[in-house]
Amino acid sequence: MATIVFEGDNVLRATLYTVVAHEEEVTRKAVRDLAVRLTNYAKREASGPARVGIPRRNRKGELIPYRAGGPGVVSGTLRRSILPRREGRAGAYSWFVEVAPGTPYSRRLELGFYGTDSLGRRYQQPPYPYMKPAREKTQREANAVFARAWARGLAP
């Protein structure tokens, strides 16, 4: 019977731990990069031109809709409030970052609101999505961002 003993197992284990720790740091930086992209895209989406006035009727009595665009920027508070809120581990080799607006009216702008609020005011506010399009655009870029980060970070 022949026995083979590998004496370098501690060296191999230490090397693998180093590679894994480096991979986690590279992944975390890539997630932060995606958070910056998502934040910037959302701010850009929330910066559409303002609707013009109240709905009007033309000479034939037909309703002229609002000009296309977003809710319009009055003070910039919504844009300033879109920030990365939380970051952390989502499991082994997984990281997450949460980007969200911080204004009370941000959900109403994203989803729209039709009806009466708690103060009895009636609204017919159409949705102006800004987070969803930004998330979709960032998601399409995610694989390329990770591939570049891992290629740079794990190259010998």
- The pLDDT tens digits for 80-106 are 999 999 988 887 767 888 999 999 989
Please state the length of the chain. 156
Look up tokens 């103060």; give the residue: 119
- Give percent above pLDDT 70 in the chain: 79
CA separation for the pair 107, 6 (Å, rounded): 60
Segments forming the whole domain that contains residue 57: 9-151
Look up tokens 């191999």; give the residue: 12
pTM for the model stands at 0.74
Look up tokens 């952390």; give the residue: 88
Q: What's the number of domains the chain is made of?
A: 1
Q: What is the pLDDT of residues 6-29, one digit of tens each?
A: 566 677 777 777 777 778 888 889
CA dihedral 103, 109, 111, 112 (to 10 degrees): 130
In a domain, 136, yes or no: yes
In a domain, 4, yes or no: no
- Rounded-to-5 percentages of helix, strand, coil across the chain: 45, 20, 35
> What's the average model confidence in pLDDT over 27-47?
91
Which DSSP state fits 115?
E
Bridge partners for 94 per DSSP: 91
In a domain, 1, yes or no: no
pLDDT at 102: 94
CA separation for the pair 15, 2 (Å, rounded): 28
In a domain, 156, yes or no: no
In a domain, 138, yes or no: yes
In a domain, 3, yes or no: no
Give the distance, in angstroms, between the CA of residue 148 and the centroid of all CA atoms in the same chain. Answer: 19
Give the distance, in angstroms, between the CA of residue 56 and the centroid of all CA atoms in the same chain. Answer: 36
CB atoms within 10 A of CB 48: 16
